[in-house]
Structure 1
Amino acid sequence: MSETVTESYIGSGIVYVNGRDVGNASGVKIDIEQESKTQPNYRGGGGNAAEITKVKSVKLSMTLNDFSNANLALALRGKIDVLTAGAVTNEAIVAVLDGLADTAKMIDTTVAPVVTHDSGTPTYDVDIDYVVSAGGIRALSSGAITAGQALKVSYTSKAGNALQALVESGQEVKVVIDGVNDATGKPNVLKFYRWKPSPTSGLDLIGDDFGSFDIEGGVLADSSIVATGKSKFFVRSAA
């Protein structure tokens, strides 16, 4: 008498895109769209005489919780520019009272900026005439700066990176999920050879809960895989 083997499944794991750890992923899902063709039975009794089902498309979607620019570049078909720290001298801005006059680069707020009238004098006082943030200078209506005043600001730009969104046509990447079945403790590994993510439908940028965003894309056939019985789309290895 054969033994029935069951294995419950609770999935977790680390998702790698081209070898890069994407951080916390709260969901990964495969969707397989199928297309059926049938030949009706004309010999009496109804039903079909033949039927074939073909795979129309394979989709891989994931929910990411880490808002790194590298992850957002995947979601927004973007590219990343490296930002280096450096001195910016006499950048011209126009004051917006109690509003933001944004600067060309991100300000390193640990280094005090110098804000002057566009003529060079006077020099305005931080937290009295204006406040500074990474995004720029906010002139205070209680200070000496007037609305629409042309200003010059010298500051130190902050190192980091900048995401240029929606400038790429979309890249193909390899996805590996180094997973564990938490119900059994057994490892499993999924490899998707060619994944081409589409732009995300939206991003929640301000909220009162931890953010996440969804990325979905097609799993494309890998024509380099020609061996009989080997999937061109993905493989799952399990202990």
Structure 2
Amino acid sequence: MLTTRIFRPTMTAGVVYARLLGSAAPLQSIGGIAELILNVEEEIKKQKDFSRGGGGNRAQVNRIDSVTMSAKLQDLNPVNLARVVFGNTAAVVSSTVTGEAVTGYKGGLIKLAHLNPSVVVLKKAAVTIAAAGNYEVRPEGLFVLDSATGITDGDALTVDYAFGGYDVIEALTEAAPTLEMLFAGVNEAMEGAANTVELHRVKTGALKSWGLINDDFAELDIEGEVLLDPTKTGAGTSKFFKVRMQ
């Protein structure tokens, strides 16, 4: 029986899968993960012994207060990002725009409705404004040069352009997600022995931090709580999480 194996040094690596609890979607990898930690916090009730001097306790009850999960996500893909900012996602397909109305100011950005414009035509009324000496095309829009001769502050302009597909995440539009999660790991200290941890019902919190500018790879720090799953029934069946190890 493997349960008799006492020698089991452990250093694990692996993949984390997740999906919205109760959805018909497949369990999908969340991508790279630098850290995944479970913490079991307990509440201890003690009954003091007052029958004699010297103190001490005559009884103790240990109850689980909560099971928490923390993780550092390495892949800032639209699904991960939407989950940790309580948002929704939408895919915008490539297309073209004709006559988008904007206002121009020297030394300022003209923010366009879509990302990465190309084949740009900027007009004042019916007159086309040349890019050279007037503006630069940037991923976020058009930057009007301080020395622009074809644009006056406050000019009403129109822009024609093409753009490629991209994803949009609208933050803080949804309730905190509840996920089913599965860690599929290998124990590198035991010749790659397999083990899994199934978290039945995880209520995830908002991201703890997101370094938009820093000197290292960005990660999403998140926390959550493993809640009771009432659908798990039967004697000896955990309503919280299950571990399988080789």
1:73 match: secondary structure? helix
Correspondence for 2:173: 167
CA distance in 1, matches of 2:6, 2:211: 43
Report the CA distance shift for 1:4/1:196 in structure 2 as closer, same or farther (over 3 A): closer
CA contact (8 A) 1:190 1:234 kept: yes
Gaps of 5+ in 1: none
1:178 aligns with 2:184: yes
Aligned to 1:21: 29
Local SS of the residue matching 2:126:
coil
Match of 1:46 among 39, 51, 55: 55
RMSD (Å) for aligned C-alpha atoms: 1.6
Question: Equivalent residue for 2:108?
Answer: 99
> Aligned ranges for residues 99-138 of structure 1 at < 5 Å?
99-108=108-117, 111-117=118-124, 119-121=125-127, 123-138=128-143
CA distance in 2: counterparts of 1:201 and 1:23, whole angstroms: 19
Offset of residue 201 of structure 1: 2.4
Measure, in 2, the Cα distance between the counterparts of 1:178 and 1:49.
43
- Distance (whole Å) between structure 1 residues aligned to residue 5 and residue 205 of structure 2: 42
4+ runs deviating over 3 angstroms: none
Task: Confirm or deny: 8 A CA contact 1:63 1:213 kept in the other structure.
Answer: yes
Q: Quote the residue 1:140 is aligned against.
A: 145
- Deviation track 1:11-57 (CA, whole Å, cap 9, x = no partner) reads 21111111121111000001112111111112214211111011111
Number of equivalences: 233
Q: Deviations over 1:191-221 (max 9, x none)?
A: 1011111111221111221111211111111
User: Bigger CA drift: 90-99 or 48-57?
Assistant: 90-99
CA contact (8 A) 2:11 2:188 kept: yes
* 1:101-153 CA distance string (max 9 Å, x none): 11122234xx3111111x121x1223431111221111112232223322111
Instruction: Give the CA deviation at 1:69.
Output: 1.4
The letter for the 2-side match of 1:190 is V
User: Which string of whole-angstrom CA distances, capped at 9 and with x for unpartnered residues, describes residues 177-200 of structure 1?
Assistant: 111112221111111011111111
Kept in 2, the 8 Å contact 1:32–1:57? The answer is: yes
**In structure 2, C-alpha distance between the alignment counterparts of 1:49 and 1:154, rounded to whole Å:** 81
Structure 2 residue matching 1:70: 3-state secondary structure:
helix
2:64 counterpart residue number:
55
1:128 & 1:209 partners in 2: Cα distance? 36
What secondary structure does 2:209 align onto?
coil
Shift in CA distance, 4/155, structure 1 to aligned 2, threshold 3 Å: closer
Which letter maps to 2:35?
G
Q: Distance in 1 between matches of 2:35 and 2:178?
A: 20
* 63-72 or 135-144, larger mean C-alpha shift: 135-144
Q: Percent identity?
A: 30
Alignment-derived partner of residue 228 in structure 2: 221
Does the aligned pair in 2 maintain the 1:107–1:155 contact within 8 Å? no
Equivalent residues of 2:110, 2:141 under 8 A apart: yes
